[in-house]
Amino acid sequence: METGKVKITVIPNGPLQVESSEIELIKTDGTSQTKKGKLYFCRCGHSKNKPFCDGSHNSEGFKG
Ligand code: FES
């Protein structure tokens, strides 16, 4: 993937897929972590590992 480019894909009935060569995630406690590649963020509200998707959207029957 091109440096600096961010690609966000809405997965049908699932999470947001965020893809970039560098992703800085700042957590609620102010600490941050840097990742690269693909991250999946919950948009159904049922994940037990927010802000990440843990697959709970499947068992909860999330549509969107
Ligand atoms: S979108 Fe996957 S757990 Fe919420």
Distance 13 CA to ligand 1 centre (A): 9
Taking the model in full, what pTM does it have?
0.89
Mean pLDDT over all residues of the chain? 94
d(CA 52, ligand 1 centre) in Å = 7
Cβ atoms of 9 and 41 within 8 Å: the answer is no
Express each pLDDT in 8-30 by its tens digit: 999 999 999 999 999 999 989 99
Any domain includes 31:
yes
In this structure, the chain runs to a length of 64
Q: What residues make up the domain containing 34?
A: 6-60
Token pair 């990742």 is at which residue?
35
Residue minimizing CA distance to atom 2 of ligand 1: 53
Matching residue, tokens 């999946």: 40
Residue 39 CA, ligand 1 centroid: distance in Å? 12
CA of 16, closest atom in ligand 1: 1
Residue 55 maps to a domain? yes
Q: State the residue for tokens 């840097």.
A: 34
Whether 28 is in a domain gets the answer yes
In the structure encoding, which two tokens stand for residue 29, read together? 């406690």
